[in-house]
Structure 1
């Protein structure tokens, strides 16, 4: 259940990857760790066996920070092979649930950082925010914190300091929260009923009852495969503009075309269209920098039985519009509850429980990044490749993230369920080219 990212940097002019090593060693010596990364999961008799968080005041950075060197020739293939192996190793639940690795030896003089963090600590949007706050748009800025360190600008949570609420403020806030919470709970029943109604009529929403059986929906083991590639974001924007749709719909259509090609090559394309689970970020009500999960979902018909890419794009545009409309009338609590209903088949698989409903065939998410180039102590961030989690019964995860003028697709798969990921990347490229041709670009 851990997620991660691969960040690829170009050293500043006149420097090489060894300069990062010295800065890394200095940061380890400072022994400063951000608050969310000091939390340790624990359970005991007093918690009745339920998991909770302890704040780990001391973190053994020698355990959490690693260094690796790529074998020759040091290309992206070797980089992603290493990340595949690292991502297959589970985190130690007796320690704070994260690790980072400095990766040297890329043939073009660049270096990479692999970050691994448990999904219980953060969702994709919160993780992106944590990384963004440790980078700068100024290439000349120096003395920046390491990726695991606490940025100075994050305020302390309520209760950590001399300022606080008076008893009257606490009572008033509690009454307001209770009153609004009761209203949201009352609205749960119609919200969930609407989700079931939409699923029965095969309309987009938080729940799907029509996902077909596929070779991607199988039990997973520990091994992982990871591969990634970036494309100019402007190419997707031009397709979206000519098709009068969104970049997110273009992303989903690229994935749909690649999935269709992948399953056709395996002679395993289902008669019914594949269904994708699409996470959406909810308003963040937590203090900045505190991590956590604020995610809803809707299901998207990928139109994989349609041979024409424009027809697939049209089907996806209708499905995403229905999904967004279903979520737009819900409160955050209702969206979370409906999302829990939607992921129930996956949760049942994790717990080993029977479930009459098949899970969605694949997860496809798009996490917004920065529109401007980012730097860390003068080193330019060239790409940020998301590394995610396949579930038991859902062996492929596709996560995208934009950085500057590019958008990166990160594919994380169960080793045994997906034979190879490089052809899938080529199919993504072919689908984008087909969309451009159909749009006259």
Structure 2
């Protein structure tokens, strides 16, 4: 039997807890050129999608939750129930396109059918068309979904930025290391001591991370960006050059993720100020999913993520100091054991009888949440432009879901030469979603402009602008 994991089920339970929530994620591929013959598109997409087992399976729950739900083949499967066609209203610009995306994404997927939809979208300006893939989060995490969707292109999965992930670079862990074969009793004692010390250190590290996550979740945070959501959504997108991001990384010795989250930080700072709020050091606690997927599991369609809960520095107005603060806080979170704690929690949940896990999960999900303000997830995408039916995919926009009191969510996708931000927001709570996107682009442009400005490091490690007289 192919059963869902506790993490897979958590996405279903979170959706069940709020009738205004749809926990499907999306990927919008914008293609240059006129829409080819619809039947050709349908046949091509159908052949590739139906080769994925999850796309022809449904979830079957067990009576009284005696065991975890399982994936079973849909005996009534028809691809025509999942592949749809629509058109963008005039003038066919990005705002009109994202209006269609919002309309599609805010509706829940039918659990009596395989949990996906594919929308072929016509009517875009500048001789373009698009495909929107909508997949329930219980099927896959962002990285698995990106890998799966890349396989639908003419080239297949190809080379992607996934090789840069921390989990991919780490050596696979196979549990307790077996002792070397030796007749030396002293060697046995030494190996047993090393193993016990390593396990004790790992447990203490994870416990420290668990304590930090718990403290973060219990802290209250008053913001207009948290609270109940309606059933309507808004979407927007920002796109910046990876070349500019790379220059920033090189100049300030930070990562692409640091730059992306610094831009998000600056955008939320501006949003809070627009709302008359006063950004503080703890005003933007952010759920940052962390991939636990190793290189031998890249083709697995499932969820393998943990999390970190850093507070992004919206209290800092200087862009360079803001970037440095993001880098420090993420490094601190990475080294604190938070991601290990989340991974161990999920692993432990899978060992407990599912009936108990389900009850605990439902109780936790229904607790009011006022500490985390948003979610920001970074997904590595293809290094080269994809092609679909011989036409170039010029842009891929990730579409994250929102739930659990989070009124906004941001997904960040590296695709070819660009870093693309996809923003989902509650329709009523965040009417300025386009401003969020524009401010992300402005923040990256401002950092890129500072790359060639002379700075020097002060005694406390910060950077300060060198005056013309001292250059």
Q: State the TM-score bracket (shorter-chain normalisation).
A: 0.7 to 0.9
1 CA distance for matches of 2:64 and 2:241? Answer: 53
Q: Distance between the aligned counterparts of 1:315 and 1:392, measured in 2?
A: 27
Offset at residue 374 of structure 1 (A): 1.5
Q: Secondary structure at the match of 1:219?
A: coil
| Structure 2 residue 344 is the aligned partner of structure 1 residue 334 | yes
User: Is 1:239 matched up with 2:248?
Assistant: yes
Q: Distance in 1 between matches of 2:345 and 2:31?
A: 37
Q: Deviations over 1:222-265 (max 9, x none)?
A: 21111112111111111111111111100000000000001101
1:214, 1:270 within 8 Å by CA — same for their partners in 2?
Answer: no
Unmatched tracts of structure 2, length 5 or more: 1-22, 158-173, 179-195, 351-360, 454-471
Distance 1:28 1:237 in 2: 34
Q: Is the 8 A contact 1:42 1:53 kept in 2?
A: yes
Write the mapping of 1:1-16 to structure 2, written as runs, cut at 5 A.
1-11=23-33, 16=34
- What is the distance in 1 between the residues matched to 2:219 and 2:134? 33
TM-score normalized with structure 2 length: 0.74
Q: 3-state DSSP class of the match of 2:309?
A: strand
3-state SS of 2:266 partner: helix
2:438 aligned partner: 426
Shift of 1:41: 1.2
Alpha-carbon distance in structure 2 between the residues aligned to 1:9 and 1:259: 31
- State the Cα distance separating 1:49 from its structure 2 match: 7.8
Cα distance, 1:22 vs structure 2: 2.9
Measured after TM superposition, the shift of residue 296 of structure 1 is 1.2
Q: Label 1:289 to 1:437 Cα distance change in 2 as closer, same or farther (>3 A).
A: closer
1:70 maps to which residue? Answer: 88
Q: Confirm or deny: 8 A CA contact 1:327 1:335 kept in the other structure.
A: no
**Does 1:372 find its partner at 2:381?**
no
More helix by share: 2
**How does the TM-score come out when normalised to structure 1?**
0.78
1:412 aligned to 2:424? yes
Pairs within 5 Å for 1:205-354: 210=219, 212-273=221-282, 274-284=284-294, 289-327=299-337, 330=340, 333-334=343-344, 336=346, 351-354=365-368
User: Structure 1 residue 392 and structure 2 residue 404: aligned?
Assistant: yes
Superposed CA RMSD: 3.3
Structure-1 separation of matches of 2:225 and 2:348: 24
Kindly indicate whether the alpha-carbon contact (under 8 Å) linking 2:61 and 2:69 is maintained by their aligned counterparts in 1.
yes
- Aligned mates of 1:348, 1:359 — CA distance in 2: 19
8 Å Cα contact 1:386/1:409 also seen in 2: yes
Change (3 A) 1:306 1:255: same
The answer on whether the counterparts of 2:91 and 2:125 sit within 8 Å (CA) in structure 1 is: yes
User: Who is 1:193 aligned against?
Assistant: 207
In structure 1, the partner of 2:451 is: 439
- 8 Å contact 1:213–1:270 — kept in the other structure? no
Equivalent pairs counted in the alignment come to: 386
Q: CA offsets per residue over residues 53-94 of structure 1, 9 Å max, x none? A: 222255211110000011111111110000011111000011
Instruction: Give 1:121-136 correspondences, 5 Å limit.
Output: 121-136=139-154
Correspondence for 1:168: none
1:41 aligned residue: 59
The whole-number CA distance in structure 2 between the counterparts of 1:271 and 1:339 is 35
Which residue among 73, 81, 93 is the counterpart of 2:99? 81
Secondary structure (helix, strand or coil) at the match of 2:113 reads: coil
Counterpart for residue 458 of structure 2 = none
CA contact (8 A) 2:307 2:342 kept: no
Instruction: Show the counterpart of 1:17.
Output: 35
- Is contact 1:368–1:401 with CA below 8 Å preserved after alignment? yes
8 Å Cα contact 2:121-2:129 kept in structure 1: yes
Shift of 1:281: 1.1
Q: Is the 8 A contact 2:285 2:309 kept in 1?
A: yes
Compared with structure 1, are the counterparts of its residues 264 and 430 closer, same or farther at alpha carbon in structure 2 (3 Å cutoff)? Answer: same
Asked if 2 retains the 8 angstrom alpha-carbon contact of 1:5 and 1:387, the reply is yes
Aligned-pair CA distance for 1:199: 5.7
Unaligned runs of 5+ in 1: 138-143, 146-175, 341-346
